[in-house]
Each structure stands twice: as C-alpha cells, then as structure tokens.
Structure 1
Amino acid sequence: MTDFRGAWTEGDIEDFLQEATIPVRLATHRPDGSLWLVTLWYRYRDGSLECATQANADVVRFLRNDPEIAFDISTNRVPYRGIRGNGTVDISSENATAVLRDLVERYLGDTDSPLADRLLDDDRDEVRIRIEPREIYSWDYTERMGNGSSERGE
C-alpha cells in the first residue's frame, strides 16, 4: 500500500504519471554501498512504475543486490512540480520487450526511427524493472511561480 502525501491527491498523482513524459530518476546503492543514480523511461500501470533496460546494465546488477530505491519524476521548467518517493523494485524478463515497445512509443511517439530500431532490436536482452512505491510525496509550485512554460510536465 502506497502512502500518498503532499500537494496532490492520489488521483492527481496518477494523472501526472500518465501524462508526463519525464524520465524517472532512480537512486540505488552499488554493492560497495555508494549511491548510484540513473534516468530511465517509465510507464505507470496499476500503481507501479515500469521501466525496461538491457539485462546486463550495471543498474540491473545493483538493483538485484539491493532492491530498495528512491525516485523522482519532476519538471525541469517553471513551474516546478512532480513527485518523489521510495520503494522496492522487482526485475523480470517477463513482458520486458512489450514494456520497452510501449516506452519507445510513449517517449518517441512511434517506432519509426533509428533509435527505436536500435532499442527494439531482436538481439537485445531486456528486463522489466517494476517499481513498487511505498511512499509518494508530491509538490506543485504553480501557484507561487505562475504557469511558466512547462508543457506535458517537461
């Protein structure tokens, strides 16, 4: 069960996560205990965030060693708004290619580009990273900063 706090209702948070095409910033620990931060595309499904990456990526090894994470999804332009939180991850090869295809379409608009071709290459070994949030804190500085230039949460 996720604990929602901050400026937005649970519904507002879900709307933001569905609409915003901002990558998630994911913080984890390396095996030596030091911190590691990675940015990944995500989709929001059934209360979880889903990402995809290559099975041999360093972050996959780090997350298998320690599934406790912190995350941030926030705008980079005024007015600043977004969410941050913590939780755990589950890594699986199940549905990884389908998740990746959905992410490519979400962030690139379609699968018709050299980048999409490279990401969706049949030779790639992908995994799905499912983030199960424990706490989500939202903030929205729109009122004090004005509408600024933020579009689609970017």
Structure 2
Amino acid sequence: MNVRGPLSTDEIRSFLAEATIPVRLACQTPSGTLWMVSLWYRCRSAGDDAADWVLQCATGTDADVVAFLREHEGVAFEISSNHPPYRGVRGRGTAAIEPDPEKETLRDLLERYLGGTDSPLARNLLREDREEVTITIDPAVVSTWDYTDRMGRDE
C-alpha cells in the first residue's frame, strides 16, 4: 500500500477505528457511469504487517453496489470528518465480495455504529430471510489529511 500525507500508519488505524462515520465508496456501474454509496465500515488487519489493513462493509446480497462490484472491482473511497477541524483518509483499491451467512460483519457494524443489535433497524437488518455479504476494500493508494493545527488556531 502506498500511503501519502501527514498521518502515520498508526494514526490512520487509530482514526479509522475511532471514526464512526460512513465510508463513501465509489465504483463503476456496468454501463460505465460512476456510483457512490455510503456504508458503515470496520478496519481490519490484512496480514502480518501492521501497516496492511482493509476496510469491511456489510450490505444485502441484492444491493446495487454488489452487482456493480461484481462487474468492476476497482473502487475509490473516503472517510472524513464532517466538522472542523477536517481530517480523513481517502484512496483507491479493489473490492471483493464474500457471503456472510451468519451476518458476522453486520453484527459487528451494528455494535460499532448503534451500540447494539436491539433496535428496530438492527432487527430488520438481521432478519433470518435477509442474505448478507461482506465487501472487503483492499487499498492500493491512500492519501491522508489533517487540518487540526491550521483550523484550530486563532487568527
């Protein structure tokens, strides 16, 4: 993975672990147009090197983004704060789709974003008849930014 910007690998991993904002995921449709979707994510280690990580998202098997990614695995993504001081991680890479019959990724994301699985939304998403997949984003190039120092100063 090629990393550019002011954040170290540890700072990137920390930001991704702490930020409970969706990843904005861009992909290509079969007709060649661009598509963007926001999804909950989790960051996971990828291999023995601490610098290697992937993002994982959960969605229904029949979601448009799943069909699009099956045609074209190339993606771009961004996870950035919505309020000053702005900081974030963006990049490009590839996405892989795997079935998640036990909804393990979804359960983990419900805990991360909602604090549990005991809500109407969680119960609906965890329905037995709903088929779920995990989208794994493997970054190739990552850029970071952090305007904390610049935006935090009185001028």
TM-score, scaled relative to structure 1: 0.92
Q: Quick check: 1:110 aligned with 2:116? A: yes
Q: Aligned letter for 2:85?
A: P
Does structure 2 retain, via aligned residues, the 8 Å contact 1:96–1:127? no
Q: Tell me, which stretches of 5 or more residues in structure 2 are unaligned?
A: 46-52
Other-structure match for 1:151: none
Out of 93, 97, 100, the residue aligned to residue 91 of structure 1 is 97
- Taking the aligned partners of 1:105 and 1:119, their CA distance within structure 2 comes to 13
Deviates more, 1:91-100 or 1:29-38: 91-100
RMSD: 1.2
Asked if 1:74 corresponds to 2:73, the answer is no
**Which structure is richer in relative contact order (CA contacts within 8 A, separation 6 or more)?**
1
- For residues 119 and 55 of structure 2, what CA distance do their matches in structure 1 show? 25
**CA pair 121-95 structure 1, distance change in 2 beyond 3 A:** closer
Contact 2:41–2:57 (CA under 8 A) maintained in structure 1: yes
C-alpha distance 77-20 of structure 1, shift in aligned 2 (>3 A): same
Runs of 4+ in 1 over 4 A off after TM superposition: none
- The CA deviation at 1:104 is 0.5
Contact 1:52 1:96 survives alignment (8 Å) = no
SS at match of 1:16: helix
How much has 1:112 moved relative to structure 2?
1.1
Give the number of aligned pairs. Answer: 146
